[in-house]
Structure 1
Amino acid sequence: MSCIFCRIIKGEIPCIKIAETAKSLAFMDIAPTSKGHALVIPKEHGERLTDLSDESCADLLPLAKRVAKATGAENFNILQNNGRLAHQEVGHVHVHVIPKPNTEFGLVVGWPSFSISKEELSELGEQIRSRME
């Protein structure tokens, strides 16, 4: 398998491991945006969050929370991208835990918004609700 994160899980590629559960692994990001930037990955391979089993998903956020607490950061971001267009660089689900100590280091986010009518928003909400499993 050519997935870099699967190879890290198997021990074929070294990492600086900080925590591990039966379902997930947390390790230091080798291209950090701030001190303490870590990744939490499921041991189950899935390119997008929607590809994972509920069991794998259920383990990710609690481990990310433990990592965030352990960094001691008062301010931090939890980031999870899905697909290249959404800025996912590695095709294996991963959660970034990014301490935000100041305006210079950590995640920088632009959040463009657009206008939508209450009627459109209501229709969209109904469409999404009707597709929920």
Structure 2
Amino acid sequence: MSTDLFCEIIAGERPAYVVASDEVAVSFLDTRPVFKGHVLVVPRTHVETLTDLADVGPFFQRVQAMARAVEQGLQAGGTFVAMNNRISQSVAHLHVHVVPRNKKDGLRGFFWPRTKYESAEEAQSYADLISKAL
């Protein structure tokens, strides 16, 4: 089995602000979010790209539920849902970005400015809001 940052989070070997976890996927806050509440949804089994994922349906049901939870939990106007395959993929483990969006939030095109959480408590509060909306 391959070991990467996301495999370590899934195994509980590396800390993360986990929003949801089940037999299919683990979802947690991005440590360098585009906007606060930016969640990564990763398959529990290690695969590098979308074409490597054997059972796409259950995984994308989790992505769909997370997009709904981010909107509801954070009272966002919408979400931006995206993934890279190999090129610009910062971790070689399939992951889908679910980013909260609001009108005039400043996100344009494919330039993703990054921000930081002010504290561990602030990050946990975002994870809790989204998790409760699931």
Percentage identity across aligned positions? 35
Moved more, 57-66 or 87-96: 57-66
Counterparts of residues 1-133 of structure 1 (less than 5 Å): 1-54=2-55, 57-71=56-70, 72=72, 73-84=76-87, 87-106=88-107, 108-110=108-110
Change (3 A) 1:60 1:109: farther
AA partner of residue 97 (structure 2): H
AA partner of residue 48 (structure 2): E
Tell me which residue corresponds to 1:117: none
Aligned residue for 1:35, secondary structure, equals coil
Q: Which has the higher contact order (CA 8 A, sep 6+)?
A: 2
How far 1:35 sits from its partner (Å)? 1.8
Hey, what's the Cα distance between the residues in 2 that align with 1:44 and 1:2? Answer: 11
Q: Which consecutive unaligned segments of at least 5 residues does structure 2 have?
A: 111-134
Aligned residue pair count: 105
Cα RMSD over matched residues? Answer: 1.6
- Any conservation in 1 of the 2:47–2:53 contact (CA below 8 Å)? yes
Aligned residue for 2:109, secondary structure, equals coil
Q: Note the alpha carbon deviations across 1:89-131, whole angstroms, 9 max, x for none.
A: 110000000111243455x325xxxxxxxxxxxxxxxxxxxxx
AA partner of residue 40 (structure 2): L
- Any conservation in 2 of the 1:60–1:95 contact (CA below 8 Å)? no
Q: Note the alpha carbon deviations across 1:45-79, whole angstroms, 9 max, x for none.
A: 1111111212xx22222112222222222221110
Hey, what's the Cα distance between the residues in 1 that align with 2:5 and 2:83? Answer: 17
Hey, what's the Cα distance between the residues in 2 that align with 1:62 and 1:93? Answer: 15
